Amino acid sequence: MKIAILAAGPGIGLAAARRFGREGFAVSLIARDQGRLADLTTRLREGGVQASAQVGDVTDESSLTRALDEVGPVDVLLYNGAGAVRALTPVLEVTRPSAQDAFNSAVLGAVTAVRAVLPAMLERGSGTLLFTSGISAVHPLPFLGNVGIAVSGLRNYALSLAEALAGRGVHVGHVPIGAAVAPGSPASPEAVAETHWSLHVGRDRHEVVLGDLATVQAAISAL
């Protein structure tokens, strides 16, 4: 069994690699930074996880496709690239370039990744597509203008995939995060990883929101 984790980093990506690795998955990490990948794979291997890495940029179609081709067929794809935006732009300041920046990482990277791995999943009649995003995918937050536009598109894509793939052996799961990705939080890296694992094995839900929208709104109002 193999999982490919895209935009892998030391938070959610590493936690998910460890969680799936404990279940016997071979982990393939994809990110832009070769040095970071080397560090992550070393840490995983020291923990007994079979890990490899490929350099790939979720905002570059040819780079990402090449990396996934090097990985080969996967049982699970975890797309964690929605947060790769270069800058947050409040909604009244959103420009075409800032919206495109967010869309490239959140949506177009996901589309590229799915098109690379889905045909083999459908041929086998099994597989899982997992996506991580933020709470603005579910509820508009004006200070996350460009990101909200993009991640709501990612959510629509994920849930549309879930409907289109029903009965074909490929499960789709989406995890919008509405809390700090930090130790002790409802959305700690380990909690996010566990949620993705539960979506993969349970296959009875397509979306789990981590955190509480009212808490997020209260925190924003207090700023």
Which string of b and e fits 201-216 if b means at least 16 CB within 10 Å? eeeeebbebbbeeeeb
CB atoms within 10 A of CB 139: 15
Q: Given this model, what pLDDT does residue 88 score?
A: 87
Q: What is the pTM of this model?
A: 0.94
Q: Domain of 112?
A: 2-221
What is the tens place of the pLDDT at every residue in 145-160?
A: 999 999 999 999 999 9
| Counted domains in the chain | 1
Pair type for strands 170-178 and 51-55? unpaired
What stretches in the chain show pLDDT beneath 70?
A: 215-223
Residue 185 maps to which CATH number? 3.40.50.720
C-alpha of 196 from chain center:
10
Q: Given this model, what pLDDT does residue 223 score?
A: 53
| In contact, 59 and 104? CB cutoff 8 Å | yes
Q: Given this model, what pLDDT does residue 51 score?
A: 98
CA atoms within 13 A on the CB side of 26: 9
CA–CA gap between residue 207 and residue 197 (Å, rounded): 12
Q: Given this model, what pLDDT does residue 123 score?
A: 98
Q: Given this model, what pLDDT does residue 216 score?
A: 67
Q: Given this model, what pLDDT does residue 220 score?
A: 60
Q: Given this model, what pLDDT does residue 191 score?
A: 97
Q: Among residues 17, 74, 19, which one has the least CA distance to residue 51?
A: 17
Secondary structure of residue 126 in the 3-state scheme: coil
| In contact, 192 and 157? CB cutoff 8 Å | no
Q: Given this model, what pLDDT does residue 219 score?
A: 60
